[in-house]
Amino acid sequence: MSSHVFQLPAVSNASPSWGSAISLGPSLGRTQHLMLYNKSTTAIVEYSHDGTNVHGELDPADGTRGQTFDGYSAASIYLRIKTGSTGPASVFVKAWSGGGA
């Protein structure tokens, strides 16, 4: 099991980049489960599985601040503050294989 809190800085540009991939842990290889949780109360965080496309948002205002993936097959995830949203934000990332959390 691998879990970390990642700090995303405030963005001042109109087109934030994805930055570096967040590795989900060398011991997991291609993980089976992934949980993302936006600890911010205001900042909207976007996530991407490939570092190119937006695959979803973690938005504390609309009830999607957390997301869990079962059968997740990528070895990394990308996070950024959504354009127009204010940061910084902290995102809890947990990845594990097997049946338990």
The answer to whether 90 and 7 are in contact (CB under 8 A) is yes
Q: For the domain that residue 79 is a member of, what is the CATH number? A: 2.60.120.1250
Report which secondary-structure segment, H or E, holds 26.
none
Structurally, how many domains does the chain consist of? Answer: 1
Asked if residue 44 belongs to a domain, the reply is yes
CA distance 77 to 51: 8
Q: What pTM was computed for the model? A: 0.80
User: How many C-alpha atoms does 55 have within 13 Å on its Cβ side?
Assistant: 13
Tell me which residue range forms the domain holding 40. Answer: 2-96
Asked if residue 20 belongs to a domain, the reply is yes
CA 61 from chain centre, in angstroms, equals 17
CA distance 101 to 87: 29
pLDDT digits (tens, 9 = 90+) for 12-60: 444 567 777 777 765 555 557 889 999 989 889 999 988 899 999 999 9
